[in-house]
Structure 1
């Protein structure tokens, strides 16, 4: 695999510097994902903008993390699983939900499990759920708006998971305690 630089503020392209500075101000460090994305300023801006927009959805923090972590697992992204486990813990997502997402096991809360299953459906069908799958999801207590917001979250994860795969992004020390490895079965796909 080609070597990709994980940029700092000093090494980032000029157009990425304001975004990297924003990350430094927000987190106190530049997450390796953002340092890698800095190579392509438009990608970095697009990802950071879309992440901010996803946070404005009608979804709760737990619901957003269910969508994001489900996609991380399905896409086999070790970096994002570690990072979002940490973010989920800081965001008050229940530990049993985090464990279910990391281990691909059902969530005890049936409505949240319906969301997890629908996120799987959107990812695995490449956005072609059946009418019955959409109806079942809405019957579980969600709305047509949520259907579209699941797609938004899925798109956000493509924007982060794929660069991590290509660049083999190293998990930051801040997220290392939540390291994750995809199952052998998934890794063989």
Structure 2
């Protein structure tokens, strides 16, 4: 049971109603996490959505974006985001097996994707400046400097929702991952 009550879509006013309309137009529904954020802090949700729009228009593929979001959510222990990004991962072509392996930090058979998963795991688990070898491994796998910047942005965006959903204990409204 979520800790914060969300305004229902038909009762929303002002900026909350505007954000609901935009989200519903894009996704077909307003997920519980977005509803809670729109109710409590619409400007914070809008900032996150704006950052996600930059990410979506950037050089990282959709499967790479979902890989990052899924791995970070798993490491954070955010059941909500693991479920959401497992569903979206399927929609962008990631197999259930590959997503399960990514969540476990195991090889998927795609050397480029595996380099990304390894990088994200290392970055999260090791504080401080990254060794040159970690960045070099991404570059050698075919990621550009611009893509590496967007990897950081993807981590930032999903970290925000992970933290909020863990605080809120947001009710999961996505299918349970396989």
The TM-score with structure 1 as length reference comes to 0.84
Alignment of 1:6-155 (within 5 A): 6-12=6-12, 14-38=14-38, 39-126=40-127, 128-155=129-156
| 1:178 and 2:160 are equivalent in the alignment | no
Give the superposition deviation at 1:165: 0.6
For 1:127 and 1:144, locate their aligned partners in 2 and report how far apart those are by CA, in whole Å: 19
Per-residue displacement from partner, 1:30-55 (whole Å, max 9, x unpaired)? 10010111110111101111111111
Per-residue displacement from partner, 1:121-161 (whole Å, max 9, x unpaired)? 23233573112211122122222222211111110011110
Structure 1 stretch displaced more, 12-21 or 85-94: 12-21
Question: Which structure would you say has the larger RCO, counting Cα contacts within 8 Å and 6 or more residues apart?
Answer: 2
Aligned residues of 1:50 and 1:156 also touching (Cα < 8 A): yes
For 1:33 and 1:2, locate their aligned partners in 2 and report how far apart those are by CA, in whole Å: 10
Aligned residues of 2:9 and 2:20 also touching (Cα < 8 A): yes
Aligned residues of 2:73 and 2:82 also touching (Cα < 8 A): yes
Name stretches of at least 5 consecutive residues in structure 2 with no aligned partner.
none
Name stretches of at least 5 consecutive residues in structure 1 with no aligned partner.
180-189
Aligned residues of 1:64 and 1:153 also touching (Cα < 8 A): yes
